[in-house]
């Protein structure tokens, strides 16, 4: 009966749901390639919603 010799495996990198190693640049590029990146227009907060948020801030005494 022959024994199997276990081969050393290379450590596989953990991948996120986009299928890339976790890093800011990798995530941005993966989103861009998949066509799901956010445009600059959609990435920020609108003036209308910011004003509504400001109205709810407590005034300092």
Its pTM stands at: 0.44
- Reported as a single tens digit per residue, the pLDDT across 9-32 is 777 778 888 899 999 899 989 999
52 vs 7: which has the higher pLDDT: 52
How far apart are the C-alpha atoms of 5 and 2, rounded to whole Å? 9
* pLDDT confidence band for 42 (50 / 70 / 90): confident
HSE-up of residue 16 (Cα within 13 Å, Cβ side): 11
The per-residue pLDDT of the chain, averaged, comes to 83
pLDDT at 59: 72
Average pLDDT over residues 31-41: 84
Per DSSP, which regions of the chain are E strands?
none
Asked if residues 22 and 14 have their Cβ atoms less than 8 Å apart, the reply is: yes
Q: What number of residues does the chain have? A: 61
């Amino acid at each position: 009966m022959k024994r199997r010799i276990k081969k050393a495996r290379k450590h596989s990198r953990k991948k996120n749901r986009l299928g890339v190693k976790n890093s800011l640049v990798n995530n941005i590029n993966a989103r861009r390639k998949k066509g799901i990146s956010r445009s600059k227009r959609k990435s920020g907060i609108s003036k209308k919603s910011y004003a509504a948020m400001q109205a709810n801030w407590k005034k300092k005494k």
